[in-house]
């Protein structure tokens, strides 16, 4: 399996005495991740928004992986933290085909390879259709390497993404129906956090109810008060009944953000998303973090990519015990 290495220009280096996260990253061919030293994290990008277009969304997410890399690798090395104990691999971007099913197969295989090597998988899209191959690939790798069987998912997203295939093809609205119907995850082990009434058809709420999916609507979360405390409790409960949990964040859940496929007005704040990520990083059952639908071409300020980088940074801080 081949991937395209991330450009060395993205691996930002600071001045003397001012190191940046770009100096921590190791660019590596994906077939070489099974090395002598186990990675703590391994990043893979999916630079494709075919699924967004098939779902009648705004294109631009194909530029997301490298934009997030550029912002993340400029972040200063955490003060007094020994990152050398934690290995960060960047396996580049999967090769995109003109056939979405072929591209998804490559994403599945990449995630499976990284998770079977013992890494926490960091997947950056691309459209949210990649949640299906990224999550199922990660869980497949864990099942093969460690014999794990009970898997859970938290999806932070105003959309339930349980649409049916159209013309026998997946798209950015189908990933969680695809995962549930594959049998990889039970409906009781899927948490939809932040769904909005005006962003989903009644049939999709009904489908989730039939499958016993835990749907926590955004308005009700706000009505109950502290969203961070609610997320912490839901994560803890899901982790108790799962061997491994994936967290996927569709960035159109972020309030007022423009550089995403479906720009919202209402949503979680960037700070809340960072705290969700930090809590997830601190929970050892979390084995994958995905960021989806960051579309730099729709955001000349670069804010969406910077928010994505901050979310990723807070996840890392949680995982290394800061």
Residue range 37-89, pLDDT digits in tens: 889 999 999 999 999 999 999 999 999 999 999 999 999 998 766 788 899 99
Query: Average pLDDT of 95-121?
Result: 97
Q: Tell me if 131 sits within 8 A of 290, measured CB to CB.
A: yes
Q: Model-level pTM?
A: 0.97
Helix (H/G/I), strand (E/B), else coil: 97? coil
Domains in the chain (CATH in brackets) are 3-319 (3.40.800.10)
pLDDT digits (tens, 9 = 90+) for 260-283: 999 889 999 999 999 999 999 999
Both structure tokens of 322: 């800061």
Say what the alpha-carbon torsion angle 319, 38, 250, 210 is, to the nearest 10 degrees. -100
On the question of pLDDT at 233 being above 70, the answer is: yes
Distance (Å, whole) CA 211 – CA 188:
7
């Amino acid at each position: 399996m081949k991937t395209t290495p991330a450009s060395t220009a993205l691996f930002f280096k600071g001045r003397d005495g001012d190191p940046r996260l770009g100096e921590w990253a190791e660019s590596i061919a994906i077939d070489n991740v099974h090395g002598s030293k186990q990675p703590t994290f391994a990043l893979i990008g999916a630079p494709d928004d075919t699924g967004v277009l098939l779902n009648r969304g705004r294109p631009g997410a194909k530029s997301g992986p490298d934009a997030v890399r550029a912002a993340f690798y400029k972040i200063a090395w955490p003060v007094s933290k020994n990152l050398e104990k934690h290995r960060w691999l960047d396996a580049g971007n999967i090769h995109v085909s003109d056939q979405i099913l072929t591209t998804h197969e490559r994403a599945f295989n990449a995630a499976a390879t990284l998770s079977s090597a013992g890494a926490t998988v960091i997947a950056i899209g691309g459209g949210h259709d990649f949640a299906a191959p990224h999550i199922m690939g990660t869980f497949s790798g864990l099942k093969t390497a460690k014999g794990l069987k009970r898997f859970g998912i938290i999806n932070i997203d105003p959309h339930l993404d349980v649409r049916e295939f159209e013309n026998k093809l997946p798209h950015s609205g189908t990933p969680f129906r695809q995962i549930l119907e594959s049998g990889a995850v039970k409906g009781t082990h899927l948490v939809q956090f932040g769904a909005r009434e005006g962003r989903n058809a009644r049939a999709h709420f009904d489908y989730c109810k039939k499958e016993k999916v835990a749907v926590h609507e955004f308005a009700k979360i706000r009505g109950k008060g502290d969203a961070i405390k609610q997320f912490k409790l839901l994560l803890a409960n899901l982790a108790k009944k799962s061997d491994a949990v994936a967290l996927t964040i569709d960035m159109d859940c972020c309030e007022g953000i423009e550089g995403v496929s479906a720009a919202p007005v209402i949503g979680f704040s960037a700070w809340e998303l960072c705290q969700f990520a930090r809590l997830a990083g601190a929970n050892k059952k979390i084995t994958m973090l995905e960021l989806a639908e960051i579309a730099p071409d729709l955001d000349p300020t670069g804010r969406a990519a910077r928010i994505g980088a901050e979310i990723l940074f807070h996840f890392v801080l949680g995982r290394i015990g800061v």
